[in-house]
């Protein structure tokens, strides 16, 4: 376990370079599940150079380093996260629009919804599909997020990352090898910092109508009134996780503590109030075991589990 003195050093680093650092920060305040213990350090860099400084510090001090985006596809364990959590959030969410080329330069912390709305305001089409996705650009590029017939692969021109060697690198779209929920970035350890998107001229009125259709469809189908991390399981080949879970008799019935399989969409696990990360993990295991036994299918979790159950520093 690293010497807890590093926490003060990271706080000082943030003060010196002008970005926010908080010690012993509850992660339940920064994830959509609303569960999880404290991070030893939560840093909010506001420039790519800040990310490089944090990563370099972690490597030199031999301190664990974890990346957090919008916190919408993450489950933080009840013991929290040791080391530095570098959050690419609103502080790194700048969006720039080139109205001549119809390109957008977006930092990794920008929410997909914000990008979609900004494109609509500018009369630029190609990001309508993203208006209902709660994640941010960095995670969307990393996993080639998509919905309603569109994906990041359709619009990405280039991506700037920070490598494991703390060097900045530019990837062209042809190098990213986008596939279904995958990209060449996975497994590299690179951190997405910024993306350039190529869109096209469109009718603002038509774009906004499409937004409303997508948002209404989402309201009808998903349990947006309770904390969750979206679809918990990846789509199995030739089927849907939600259909299998419902067919196994778990929809609205399976529950562990404050965690429950949603009554509205069986692919969602919701926090009905007071759930712990342990509750959610136990329910995930229960769903996997039941679907395996009753439906003969192995469900693979999509939600990313972070942290551990040891006591924080």
Distance CA 169, CA 101 (A): 23
**Cα–Cα distances in Å, from 52 out to 69, 165, 195?**
16, 10, 17
> Active-site residue among 169, 181, 204, 235?
181
Q: Which residues contact 212 (CB under 8 A, 6 or more apart)?
A: none
CB 269 within 8 A of CB 259: yes
Kindly state the tokens that stand for 304. 């990313």
Helix (H) or strand (E) holding 45: none
Select from 241, 237, 240, 265 the least CA-distant residue to 251. 265
The count of other CB atoms within 10 Å of the CB of residue 3 is: 11
HSE-CB at 103 with a 13 A cutoff on CA atoms is 9
- Annotated catalytic residue, options 32, 122, 228, 231: 231
Tracing tokens 């469109």 back to the chain, one arrives at 202
Q: In angstroms, rounded to a whole number, what is the distance separating the alpha carbons of residues 246 and 242?
A: 6
| Catalytic position from the list 49, 182, 246, 302 | 302
Pair 23, 7: CB distance under 8 Å: yes
User: Is-catalytic flag, 231?
Assistant: yes
Structure token digits, residue 110: 């920008």
**216 is an active site residue:** no
Active site residue 56: no
Q: Cβ–Cβ contacts within 10 Å for residue 104, how many? A: 25
Nearest-angstrom CA–CA distance, 167 and 152: 24
Residue in this structure with the two tokens 């919804």, named with its chain if needed: 113
**Residues with active-site annotation:** 181, 231, 302
């Amino acid at each position: 376990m690293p010497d807890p003195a590093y926490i003060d050093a990271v706080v000082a680093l943030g003060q010196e370079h002008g970005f926010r650092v908080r010690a012993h920060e509850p992660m339940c305040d920064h994830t959509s599940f609303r569960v999880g213990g404290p991070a030893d350090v939560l840093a909010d860099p506001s420039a790519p150079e800040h990310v490089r400084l944090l990563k370099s510090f972690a490597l030199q001090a031999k301190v664990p380093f974890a990346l957090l985006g919008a916190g919408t596809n993450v489950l933080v364990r009840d013991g929290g996260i040791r080391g530095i959590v570098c959050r690419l959030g609103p502080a790194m969410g700048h969006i720039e629009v080139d109205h001549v080329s119809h390109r957008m330069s977006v930092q990794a912390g920008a929410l997909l919804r914000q990008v979609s709305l900004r494109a609509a305001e500018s009369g630029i089409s190609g990001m309508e599909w993203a208006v209902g996705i709660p994640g941010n650009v960095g995670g969307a590029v990393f996993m080639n997020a998509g919905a309603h017939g569109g994906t990041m692969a359709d619009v990405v021109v280039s991506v700037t990352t920070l490598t494991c060697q703390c060097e900045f690198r530019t990837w062209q779209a042809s190098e990213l090898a986008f596939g279904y929920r995958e990209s060449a970035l996975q497994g590299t350890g690179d951190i997405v910092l910024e993306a350039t998107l190529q869109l096209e001229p469109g009718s603002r009125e038509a774009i906004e109508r499409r937004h409303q259709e997508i948002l209404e469809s989402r309201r009808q189908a998903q349990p947006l009134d309770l904390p969750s991390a979206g679809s918990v399981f990846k789509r199995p080949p030739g089927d849907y996780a939600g259909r299998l879970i419902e067919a196994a008799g778990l929809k609205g019935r399976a529950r562990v503590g404050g965690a429950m399989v949603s009554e509205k969409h069986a692919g969602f696990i919701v926090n009905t109030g007071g759930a712990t990360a342990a509750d959610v993990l136990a329910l995930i295991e229960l769903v996997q075991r039941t679907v395996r036994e009753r439906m003969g299918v192995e469900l693979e979790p999509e939600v990313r589990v972070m942290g551990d159950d040891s006591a924080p520093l």
